[in-house]
Amino acid sequence: MDTRAPRYRLPTLAMLMLVVLRAAIGWHLLYEGIVKLVTPGWTSKGYLLSSTWVLAEVFQKIVDNPMALKCVDVANILGLILIGTGLMLGCFSRAASLFGALLLALYYAAQPPFMEAATGAVREGSYLIVDKNFVELLALCVLAALPSGALLGLDRIIIYRRVRKLQAELQGGAGAGTTGAAPGVVLGRREMFKGLATLPFAFAFVAALLRRRSQEEGRLVDAVTSATMKTFKFASLSDLKGQVPKAKIKDVEVSRLILGGNLIGGWAHSRDLTYVSKLVKAYHDDDRVFETFRLAEECGINTILTNPALCRVINEYWKRGHGKIQFFSDCGGSDLLEGVQKSIDNGATGCYVHGGIADSLAKEGKVDQIGKALELMRKHKVPAGIGGHRIETIKACVEAGLAPDFWMKTLHHNNYWSAKVIEENYSTFCLKPDETIAYMKELKAPWIAFKTLSAGAIKPEEGFKYAFENGADFICVGMYDFQIVEDANLALEVLDSADLKGKRQRAWMA
């Protein structure tokens, strides 16, 4: 009587589902790898820097070493492609499962779902410890423990040939030193079918990939591993033509193209589109802001001009060691002097009186309060400026004897369809561009022009050219992350053009 315990064999349906699971995970990882391979300038830098868990210091050191970061990026892409291919075809599937589980474990360690509150990241779902990385990791561990490749896949052919060769050697059918297939080791049609059964997955993948690539020109593509985010096909750092030039305001070096903070803070100035401010706030979670700052710095844009409300996110960016972007504060708020002090206390490199505040004070005949704000700024030895949307504000300050280190004044042409509506209903744009150009030409302090695109109504190639040709020393422009490289290249083109040298009448003041 046979007393051995009966051996359990998986039902056919269960075995088939394991194969389908393996191929599906392989499909996912392979596609992630291919997209990264074809995405210009893709890097894991942002993903690594946003980590705050146990390996955060290790990831930070990798980012700080360009060669190490390049190696990690290449290993990530090749790993995803090789692991995905192995899983889909059932080729070395056990090794592919183990290495895939290890890779997913690293992704999980970089962005664990229980650290969501700390990073401020916006995720594609709601997770509590278990997320899709964790689920795929466990699935790969199961696949590594079961011979799914031997069921259906190229592993079956490899194993079959090895077994038949060993049998032939034991029977004397082949010499011990033979390295090729033993005589008589021929795959039957059934074994060949099982070994090649996963090839249709590969054919389907290639067909789907070609179809998607043909349909996605200008659309969204998958670009970031695991914690999958969507990104536009926009100009990447590999397209950057050079660093944005810099000049000095007082003793502070400032890029001629300055990153505006309105879009990040949610002040979209979108006329009667009431939802836009909420939309841009939702888009700019902390990680998105950090990535925007990092891209700006890579392009040579070293300054952001913004409201004290963004002090927290800027200080967090510095604290995490992501970069060193400096900020000029508009000192906005309910109390002007408190706004100045708050800005200084939070590390502002420069300060100026917010254009709307200065407009109101000048209109009310309270220019002396603008002067007090300048005194407080200078007490803390930072560049002190005055802003204004109305040219009358600038004139009132000059007439009162105020001499700031720089001026902030709106500048844009009014040759666009909604300009008349703005003139009748808004005071935060440049309503008198010709008068502004003529008056600012005589002022000797550096001029930062803002609203140069009239809050998105003017194309950058028009707005940049108009502002620099008509006297601006710097331009402040609100930019999404996907616009930064393109705008930096455009600024370089305008500043280097012979046309600018021929048309600019105001001397460079910085």
Can you give the residue range of the structural domain that contains 324? 249-503
For 189, phi then psi, to 5°, come to: -60, -35
Domain presence at residue 181: no
Do 140 and 270 lie in one domain? The reply is no
Contact status, residue 322 vs residue 293, Cβ threshold 8 Å: yes
User: What count of other Cβ atoms lies within 10 Å of the Cβ of residue 383?
Assistant: 23
Domains identified in the chain, total number? 2
Instruction: Quickly tell me which residue has 């391979």 as its tokens.
Output: 37
Q: Residue 287: enclosing H or E segment and its boundaries? A: helix 286-298
pLDDT at 227: 37
Which residue would you say has higher pLDDT here, 421 or 501? 501
Whether residues 257 and 344 fall in one domain: yes
209 and 117 in a common domain:
yes
Q: Is residue 416 included in any domain, yes or no?
A: yes
Contact assessment for residue 169 and residue 182, using Cβ atoms and an 8 Å cutoff: yes
Residue 304 belongs to some domain of the structure: yes
Q: In sequence order, what are the beta bridge partners of 259?
A: 304, 477
CB neighbourhood size of 396 (10 A): 22
Task: Tell me: do 147 and 292 sit in the same domain.
Answer: no
Per-residue pLDDT tens over the stretch 142-168: 888 876 666 677 777 776 667 666 666
Decide if pLDDT at 482 tops 80: yes
Mean pLDDT on 82-97: 88
| Assigned domain for 74 exists | yes
Q: What are phi and psi of 157, to 5 degrees?
A: -65, -45
pLDDT, tens digit, 9 for 90 and up, residues 260-290: 988 887 777 776 677 777 887 788 888 889 8
In a domain, 7, yes or no: no
Contact 362, 415 (CB under 8 A): no
Q: Six-digit token pair at 38?
A: 């074809």
Tokens of 145: 């423990």
Please report where in the chains the tokens 């410890």 appear, as a residue.
129
Is 184 domain-assigned?
A: no
| Mean pLDDT computed over every residue of the chain | 82
Same-domain check for residues 256 and 219: no
Of 183, 205, 231, the residue at which a domain comes to its end is: 231
Tell me which DSSP letter residue 453 carries: T
73 and 25 in a common domain: yes
Spatial separation of the C-alpha atoms in residues 337 and 350, rounded to whole Å: 14
pTM, two decimal places? 0.60
- pLDDT at residue 410 is higher than 80: yes
Burial of 413 (0-12, 13-18, 19+ CB in 10 A): middle
Residues 211, 283, single domain; the answer is no
pLDDT at 168: 67
- Regarding whether 289 and 211 lie in a shared domain, the answer is no
Is 509 among the domain residues?
no
Instruction: Of 488, 448, 444, give the one whose Cα is nearest residue 468.
Output: 448
If 0-12 CB within 10 Å is exposed, 13-18 middle and 19+ buried, where does residue 307 land? buried
Q: Are residues 201 and 331 in the same domain?
A: no
Question: How far is it between the farthest Cα atoms of the chain?
Answer: 113
222 lies in the same domain as 258: no
- The three-class DSSP label of residue 406 is strand
Residue count (the chain): 510
Task: Specify whether 122 is located in the same domain as 255.
Answer: no
The answer to whether residues 125 and 271 belong to one domain is no
Q: Is residue 185 part of a domain?
A: no
11-60 pLDDT, tens digit each: 777 777 888 888 899 889 999 998 888 876 778 887 787 777 888 888 88
Q: What is the CATH number of the domain that holds 365?
A: 3.20.20.100
Question: Percentage of the chain with pLDDT > 70?
Answer: 80
